[in-house]
Amino acid sequence: MSGGTIRVSEIFGPTIQGEGALIGLPTVFVRTGGCDYRCSWCDSLHAVDSAFRNQWIPMSVETIWQEVMKLSGGKPLTVSLSGGNPAIQPLRPLIELGHTQGYRFALETQGSVAQGWFRDLDTLVISPKPPSSGMLTDWDQVDNCLQLAAGGPEVALKVVVFDEPDYAFAQQAGQRYPQIPLFLQPGNHTPPPPEDDDARIDLDGVMDRMHWLVERVTADQWFEVRVLPQLHVLLWGNKRGV
Ligand SMILES: C[S@@+](CC[C@H](N)C(=O)[O-])C[C@H]1O[C@@H](n2cnc3c(N)ncnc32)[C@H](O)[C@@H]1O
Ligand SMILES: Nc1nc2[nH]cc(C(=O)O)c2c(=O)[nH]1
Ligand code: SF4
Ligand SMILES: [Mg+2]
């Protein structure tokens, strides 16, 4: 066994990456269990809420890798590491193993925990949490994440926006990191678990927020930002495993 075990909520795919910088790219997801945050609107509570802890399996790197290989048919692709907060798991050995076989790794995190192995990633997406989440962003930690990633992965920022205060927060993020591509993503209202498979998100609300966001950034002549919906949410709602 190489390294410690990783707490896994689910492994699924291939599907397409539905969000941000890699939108549309075929990918296999490894979703880790456990998060140091609890956002009011988290759409992945099954990987956050300790009520689901019994569904998080401690897996060896080898077992995870077998599953990724099976799902991808052994053909290298980008593995998306999400959660929960994947940054609290010992992921370095998994990334090292996958790289030896030509796979790439994109990791999604809120930027609250920085790891030395961020530099080994191919893509790092930091998604600082706006006021509507109820969480407080520690920008020093986001800085640490970016410092540890320097010279390594492509980095992008992604901010979920539900309302005007969230939009102002996103503008601050853009001003703080003018060199880093910034993606704005309208929030969705997901019904809480155990509803999953067919649970309907408020698609009309998502579309309204998307329209509003486009109007907002164009009226502000904010021409550096990118506005994208969650493509997988438009296609499948909050269904798991896609
Ligand atoms: C479930 S999180 C897991 C990774 C990490 N904990 C994070 O928040 O970046 C993956 C992405 O989904 C976004 N997200 C979570 N709930 C959402 C919602 N209700 N609407 C839109 N995006 C959401 C997060 O902001 C993050 O960018
Ligand atoms: N297709 C697809 N794209 C995604 N992008 C981010 C996701 C996530 O939940 O982290 C996600 C997800 O769950 N599915
Ligand atoms: S940080 Fe990410 S996984 Fe954790 S509660 Fe917030 S959106 Fe959910
Ligand atoms: Mg999701």
Cβ–Cβ contacts within 10 Å for residue 128, how many?
A: 26
Q: What is the pLDDT of residue 194?
A: 66
State yes or no: cis peptide before 237, omega within 30 of 0. Answer: no
DSSP secondary-structure letter at 242? -
The response to whether residue 142 sits with its C-beta less than 6 Å from ligand 3 reads no
Cα(28)–Cα(13) distance, rounded to whole angstroms? 4
Q: What is the pLDDT of residue 1?
A: 45
Q: What is the pLDDT of residue 196?
A: 57
Q: What is the pLDDT of residue 58?
A: 98
What does each of the 242 residues of the chain score in pLDDT, given as a tens digit?
446 899 999 999 999 999 999 999 999 999 999 999 999 999 999 999 999 999 999 999 999 999 999 999 999 999 999 999 999 999 999 999 999 999 999 999 999 999 999 999 999 999 999 999 999 999 999 999 999 999 999 999 999 999 999 999 999 999 999 999 999 999 999 877 766 555 678 999 999 999 999 999 999 999 999 999 999 999 999 899 99
What's the CA-to-centroid distance between 112 and ligand 2, angstroms? 19
Q: What is the pLDDT of residue 168?
A: 98
Q: Is the pTM of this model over 0.80?
A: yes
Best residue among 230, 236, 239 to mutate for probing ligand 2, ranked by most atoms within 8 Å of CB: 230
Burial class (CB in 10 A: 0-12, 13-18, 19+), 154: middle
Atom of ligand 2 nearest to the CA of 43: 9
Instruction: From 112, 111, 67, 121, select the one nearest 91 (Cα to Cα).
Output: 121
Nearby residues for ligand 4 (ion, Cβ within 5 Å): 43
Best residue among 22, 41, 82 to mutate for probing ligand 2, ranked by most atoms within 8 Å of CB: 82
Instruction: From 113, 103, 110, select the one nearest 80 (Cα to Cα).
Output: 103
Q: What is the pLDDT of residue 195?
A: 61
Q: What is the pLDDT of residue 191?
A: 76
Residues making up the binding site: 16-18, 31, 35, 39, 41-44, 82, 84, 127-129
